Amino acid sequence: MKTLPPALAAALAGGVTTLATCWRLTTADGRRLGFTDHDRPIAYDGIVHEAASGFTATEAVARADLSVGGLEVDGALTSAALTATDVEAGVWDGATVEIDLVDWTDPAARIRLRDATLGEITCVDGAFRAEIRSLAHRLDETRGRLFQHRCDADLGDVRCGVALARHPATVVERLDARRLRVAGLEAHAAGVFGRGLLRVVSGTAAGRAVEIRTHSVDADGVVLDLWLPLEPAPAVGDALQVTFGCDKRFETCRDRFANAVAFRGFPHIPGNDFLLAHAGAVDTVADGGAYVS
């Protein structure tokens, strides 16, 4: 149960209410934006909450069983700070959301309605729809370590310990929305940049980054297939930086990075074939692969 501040309680008890809803978004890198469904900006706590015509929200849902509740917010992309390019690039993915009920005549009279996380965002024809997830969604996330054959560390993080080099490259040709032909990586074997990271360092897409799906070499050179299209798209001649990728296998950790001592998986735990092995089987290899007897 929420306790209303006296000033807000008085405003609610009056004959005419002067209430508005304010949304405040904070990204992982500290960028903050404020919006309101009022027709004029509302400022408090050092943030101006921009007025957004047509900015509406669905019914908020909360459940007693701790399952994920939430709501959706619809609006037009009218703010210069909230662009379709940033949304598609994932700038706002996972941003924290604070929702307040505010008396717009006295913003100090307000109450926090919800703390949440920004979920899926879609943009169509200059408008957006954002999913607001309750904090209960964190209960669905995996916590702690998983006992599995493959490594559960991220390449280059503290647990992994590999010092990742950034290899320079240049866009030679855009084959389609996700595939780029690049120069500068010819000395590397095919596949080593698969699951790596591509970062644009010049041109209109400078600062954008996306994961690499596959890295192949054909008669015309090196092709990088990206998991997602880059927006804005890099142009021919733009400079890139590319890092190696890792498929989390022990053999890759050992042979490509010489980092077997820091491998964070369990390559020798028995697999399902061990559970299915029958009594009397001899010379059995129980490594999670095919059953051999």
76: containing domain: 6-140
119 and 63 part of one domain: yes
For residues 49 and 35, the answer to whether their CB atoms sit within 8 Å is: yes
Q: Which of 242, 261, 281 is the last residue of a domain?
A: 242
* Model pLDDT, residue 36: 86
Task: Please check the confidence at residue 289 and state whether its pLDDT lies above 60.
Answer: no
* Any domain includes 236: yes
Rounded to a whole number of angstroms, the CA Rg of the chain reads 26
Say whether 146 sits in a helix, a strand or coil: coil
**pLDDT tens, residue by residue, 194-227:** 999 999 999 988 888 899 999 999 988 999 999 9
68 and 116: one domain? yes
Q: In the predicted model, is pLDDT for residue 77 greater than 80?
A: no
Q: Give the pLDDT mean for 5-13.
A: 80
Query: Do 126 and 45 fall within a single domain?
Result: yes
Q: E strands within the chain?
A: 19-26, 32-36, 42-44, 47-51, 56-57, 70-76, 96-103, 110-124, 127-134, 167-174, 179-183, 197-200, 209-218, 221-226, 239-242
Residues 136-153 have pLDDT tens digits of: 766 766 777 778 889 999
Comparison of pLDDT for 60 and 243, the residue scoring more: 243
| The two three-digit tokens of residue 152, written as one number | 């559960």
Q: In this structure, is residue 224 part of a structural domain?
A: yes
Inter-CA distances, 201 with 110, 161, 166, 198, 230, Å: 44, 25, 11, 10, 13
CATH number for 173: 2.40.30
Confidence class for position 286, pLDDT limits 50, 70, 90: low
In a domain, 230, yes or no: yes
240: three-class secondary structure by DSSP: strand
pLDDT at 49 over 80: yes
**Are the C-beta atoms of residues 129 and 74 closer than 8 Å to each other?**
yes
Looking up residue 100, the CATH number of its domain turns out to be: 2.30.110
Query: Is pLDDT larger for residue 224 or for residue 33?
Result: 224
Predicted TM-score (pTM) of the model is: 0.58
Residues 67, 178, single domain; the answer is no
